[in-house]
Amino acid sequence: MFFQVVITLNDTIIHNQTYSSMKDIANNLSMTYQQVADISCGRVMPKYISNNFPFQPKININKIKKENYIV
């Protein structure tokens, strides 16, 4: 299984990459594995979101089956 990660900021794509594991996502984005897992399943915890910052990126993590992945 692969994971497509798209990070947008104000409708501008700032990161679009495919990873082979959630651990790779966490390492590359300097996040914990638990944060990546929460985002992946749509369970974004309120502690990850702060109203103090006017610009917050939106992170979408989508699973891609190996047979659907085109290199």
The first and second tokens of residue 49, run together, are: 């979101």
Predicted pLDDT at 47? 58
Whether the CB-CB separation of 61 and 55 falls below 8 Å is answered with no
Per residue in 7-43, pLDDT (tens digit) is 998 889 999 999 999 999 999 999 999 989 988 888 7
Predicted pLDDT at 17? 95
Whether the CB-CB separation of 25 and 5 falls below 8 Å is answered with yes
Whether the CB-CB separation of 2 and 64 falls below 8 Å is answered with yes
Per-residue pLDDT band for 68 (boundaries 50, 70, 90) equals: low
b/e per residue 27-60 (b: at least 16 CB within 10 A): eebebeeebbebbbeeeeeeeeeeeeeeeeeebe
Predicted pLDDT at 30? 92
Domains of the chain are 2-68 (1.10.10)
Its pTM surpasses 0.85: no
